[in-house]
A and B are shown apart, each in its own frame.
Chain A
Amino acid sequence: MSLNGKGAVTGIGETQYMRGSPKSAFRLQIEASLKAIEDAGLTPKDIDGIIPIGITGAPAEAFATNFGIEDLRFSAVAPLGGASGIASVQAAVAAIAAGICNHVLIPSGRNVTSGARAGVRIHQMPQFHLVTEFEYPLGAIAPAQLYAPMARRHMELYGTSSRQFAEVAVAMREHAVMHGNAVMKKPITIEDHQNSRMIADPFRLLDCSLESDGGAALVISAAERVRDMRQPGVVIAGIAEGHPDSPSSITQRPDMTRLGIAKAAPRAFAMAGVSPAEIQVAEIYDCFTYIVICQLEDMGFCKKGEGGAFVENGRLRLGGGLPTNTHGGLLSQAHMLGMNHVVELVRQLRGQGGATQVEGAEIGLATGYGDLGDGAMVIMRRA
């Protein structure tokens, strides 16, 4: 059984994205969830499946208790870091297609101002335990330091340049400024990127994503329900997760420049029956600029090693060949674990993209990347 056409995103919700929110992570999760449920035209008691985004999230029971859900039929957790959102959509569609439940809520939200920042948190996570034992004590602390050797290897093998990384950062910032609900509000240039301070060579400050506060949530329902729902239907056409070789250690990975999405993308494209050339808008997980370039290659938008040249000349900007991260992404909108990428894709395919709407967008994709290279990808189309 293929999951193509079995599920739809019927509700999306987001809070304002900011730094220094006075609201707790759970409150932000609840606020985003209530917006998504209302957007779907449902009430909280209609939710019968919950997949919380795990890292800083409350368990399913906390949502069931607060919403008064009397018969929660499905709960799960997808521990793929920033790929968890899309992996959770996959689990939701599978559960709905199997008849287990009807409406699955996927809530996320974080307050990094009061909670743990990414660099500290990862070393408490079981999927990082080998890194925590053998690399953390040497001073390999934060994701920037763990991922930088992948980027450096790519640069040495293929001549990829820091100015090409800058192309990604500049495009994301341009979209964030136009979008409005974004933490970063000032445009940047290639030179601004080149002048930003070095964090973990080759990553400069403007290669790194934000730490921000906010909430984002999705409601997933059966595709045949979209006619009855409040909003224009957006159907899931292809979806897959993929795990990299040597999933517990980048150091030991045979090919450091290949991520888990290289395995997921062919499955998702085949399920949807579309090719990269048909994608009109892309929301690509962008914890670091290089990770966008690597995923573009791994998904087949260009050959391995050509991603740097691919992003040049404004290809990722609105009006370019592949408008990407029309919300500004993790680099310039907010770090919402990639849930904001899924929300934005749905908004684009509904035609509700506002100032950053890609004209006539009917088919697009979103990706997630997490932990030490886990990947997930979803292709959606307007119903």
Chain B
Amino acid sequence: MATTDKPLPHETEDSQPYWAKAKGGVLAIQRCADCGRLRHYPRLVCDNCHSLEADWIDASGRAVLHSWTVAHHAFHPGFAGDVPYVLATVELEEGPRALGILDCPADAGLKPGMAVTARFEQRADGASELHFAPA
């Protein structure tokens, strides 16, 4: 269950479009409007051509597992009811990586390269929480 005392994302001018899309359940990736390079997490400048112009694409949500950790100790009281939970680093089909909560048992026999799909869970506290599930 979502609780109100989990930390909330503090959106910035650069990331505002990401969180707006996330509210609608869409995983968006920032794209350089000049050279087309995708970048995540959202930021001001393209590290390839140094353009400050950016637009956004919708990601397919398809990804593969790159690495993970299973949280057994809650370092924040907001997660005490959630342990153990799996935090997955995934490689999105479009290239950038993302971190999300993997909806699977902690002892699921995870392997790099495993296919997963993205979804957002809308928490009661207003945060959009990125999740992945085995495809």
A residues adjacent to B (C-beta < 8 A): 119, 123, 130, 132-142, 144-145, 148-150, 152-153, 156-157, 197-203, 248-249, 251-252, 256
Give Cα A249–Cα B66 distance, bound, in whole angstroms: 14
Q: Which residues of A contact B73 (CB under 8 A)?
A: 144, 197-200
With the chains together, A144 CA to B10 CA distance in Å? Answer: 22
| Extra 5 A-B pairs, beta carbons < 8 Å, given A133-B10, A133-B12 | A138-B99, A145-B75, A149-B67, A251-B89, A251-B99
Q: Report the Cα distance A257→B68, complex, angstroms.
A: 13
Q: How far is the CA of A156 from the CA of B69 in the complex (A)?
A: 12
Name the residue among B12, B41, B67, B68 with the largest chain A CB count within 10 angstroms. B67
24 contacts between A and B (CB under 8 A): A130-B41, A130-B43, A133-B10, A133-B11, A137-B6, A137-B7, A138-B99, A139-B71, A139-B78, A139-B101, A140-B99, A145-B87, A149-B68, A156-B111, A197-B73, A198-B72, A198-B73, A200-B70, A200-B71, A201-B69, A201-B70, A203-B69, A252-B41, A256-B66
Number of A-B contacts (CB under 8 A): 102
B129 contact set on A, CB distance < 8 A: 137-138
Residues of chain A within 8 A (CB-CB) of B96 are 252
Question: Smallest CB–CB gap between A115 and chain B, Å?
Answer: 17
Number of residues of chain B lying within 8 A (CB) of chain A: 39
> Could you tell me if B69 and A256 are in contact, using CB atoms closer than 8 angstroms?
no
Q: B98 an interface residue at 8 Å Cβ cutoff?
A: yes
Q: Within 8 Å CB of A145, what residues of B?
A: 69, 71, 75, 87
> Which residues of B have CB within 8 Å of A137?
6-9, 127, 129
Contact B79 A141 (CB under 8 A): yes
Closest Cβ of chain B to A119, distance in Å, is: 5
Query: What are the 5 A-B residue pairs with the smallest beta carbon separation, nearest first?
Result: A148-B69, A201-B70, A141-B75, A149-B67, A142-B75
A204 shortest CB reach to chain B, Å? 9
CB contacts (< 8 Å) of B15 on chain A: these are: 133
Cα distance A153–B89 in the bound complex, in angstroms: 10
With a 10 A CB-CB cut-off, give which of A130, A139, A144 has the most chain B CB atoms: A139
Contact indicator B67/A200 (Cβ below 8 Å): no
Interface check B23, CB cutoff 8 A: no
Looking at the assembled complex, report how far the CB atom of A372 sits from the nearest CB atom of chain B, in whole angstroms: 13
Complex interface: chain A residues within 8 A of B112 (CB):
153, 156-157
CB-nearest residue of chain B relative to A140? B87
Assembled-state Cα–Cα distance A145/B6 (Å): 16
| Distance to closest chain A CB from B13 (angstroms) | 12
Task: Verify A119–B41 contact, CB threshold 8 A.
Answer: no
Given A133-B41, A134-B9, A149-B89, are A119 and B67 neighbors across the interface (CB < 8 Å)?
no
Interchain CA distance A348-B91 in the complex, whole Å: 45
- In the bound complex, residues from chain A placing their C-beta under 8 Å from that of B11 are 133
Contacts of B82 in A (CB 8 A): 139
Contacts of B100 in A (CB 8 A): 138
Would you call B41 and A141 a contact (CB within 8 A)?
Answer: no
Chain B 42-71 near chain A by CB (<8 Å), digits 1 or 0:
010000000000000000000000111111
A102 to B76, CA, bound (A): 46
Instruction: Using known A-B contacts A138-B129, A153-B66, determine if residue A251 contacts B9 with beta carbons closer than 8 Å.
Output: no
Kindly state whether residue B40 has any CB partner on chain A within 8 Å: yes
